[in-house]
Amino acid sequence: MIIVMKPKAKQVSIDRVKAIIEEKGLYAHISAGHEVTIIGVVGDKAKLMDQNLAIYDEVDKIVYVTESYKLANKKFHPDPTIVNVGNVTIGGDTTVIMSGPCAVESRQQLLATAHAIKKAGAHILRGGAYKPRTSPYAFQGLEEEGLSYMKEAREETGLPVVCEVTSLDAIESAVKYVDMLQIGARNMQNFYLLKEAGKTDLPVLLKRGLSATIDEWLNAAEYIIAEGNPNVVLCERGIRTFETATRNTLDISAVPAIKAKSHLPIIVDPSHATGVRDYVKPLSMAAVAAGADGLMIETHPDPSTALSDGPQSLSFDQFEVLTEELRPLVTLLGKKL
Note the pLDDT of residue 51.
Answer: 83
CA–CA separation, 69 vs 72, rounded Å?
6
Nearest to 131 by CA among 102, 160, 95, 161: 102
Domain limits, the chain: 2-63, 83-332
Class of domain 83-332: alpha beta
User: Could you tell me the fold of the domain covering 2-63?
Assistant: Alpha-Beta Plaits (3.30.70)
Quick one: pLDDT at residue 46? 81
pLDDT of residue 133: 64
List average pLDDT for each run of 10 residues in the chain, which is 337 residues long.
90 93 90 85 82 88 89 92 97 97 95 98 95 68 91 97 95 96 97 97 97 98 96 98 95 98 98 96 98 98 93 97 98 96
pLDDT at position 122, please? 98
Q: Write down the pTM of the prediction.
A: 0.92
* Best CA proximity match to 223, nearest among 114, 84, 68, 10: 68
Quote the CA–CA distance of 300 and 288 in Å, as a whole number: 23
